[in-house]
Amino acid sequence: MCSLFRDPENRLQDSTPFYLKPGGKTVENEIADLSLTIGNIIGQASAEGREVVFLCIGSDRYVGDSLGPLVGSMLEDSGVPYKVYGTLKDPVHAFNLKGTIKEINRQFTKPVIFSVDASLGTKEEAGSVIFREGPVKPGKGIEKVLPSVGDYHFAGVVNYIDPLPTSQFLNDTRLYTVMTLAQAIVKVITATLPDENQ
């Protein structure tokens, strides 16, 4: 759905973000640190009897917007013990996001939701994964008004903002970039599992 990460009006996203740069020299340490953080969040949720849900937002019709469905499919394939919404087979996008949120809230009582979405950012942020507390604003980067969702979110910065229309950047995004970001996010999440589940 392509959330716009830098949104000065969105005060819900003013917590300190965690940056992970796949291919960087310290990426393994960054993955380990972020996995520990997420593992603690999941552990606390389990102790409180709350379900953990991964809501992977986007469409497989545009390379730049396919991050969420790719992550969702990879998580399902890896056998994570969490509920996953949004895969390549059954994507969660602008037309069914509201219904999916209602379904999650009907099925679970106070779930801890991790949202995953593609994002546009600065040139320096492009190719990074950003994890942050608070909801993601899907569609913000392409000027769609959709509900904010998630207790925490992953934003994969698939491209950067330029004077050209933002929709053009979704079309010009490299599949390699999206796959690299998706693999990094899945590696972070699966690293939170006990060894026998990986």
The sign one gets for the Cα dihedral 133, 128, 53, 144 is positive
Give the span between the Cα atoms of 103 and 127, in whole angstroms.
32
Please give the pLDDT value at position 5.
38
Structure tokens at 87: 């895969």
The owner of tokens 């996203």 is 13
Angstrom distances, CA of residue 88 to CA of 81, 95, 102: 19, 15, 21
The fold for domain 3-191 equals Rossmann fold (3.40.50)
Is the pLDDT at 176 greater than 80? The verdict is yes
Please give the pLDDT value at position 141.
52
How long a stretch of residues is the chain?
A: 198
Please give the pLDDT value at position 151.
96
Ranges 4-18, 151-165, 182-196, most confident: 182-196
| pTM of structure | 0.86
Name the β-bridge partners of 85.
55
Q: What are the structural domain ranges in the chain?
A: 3-191
Backbone angles phi, psi at 169, to 5 degrees: -75, -30
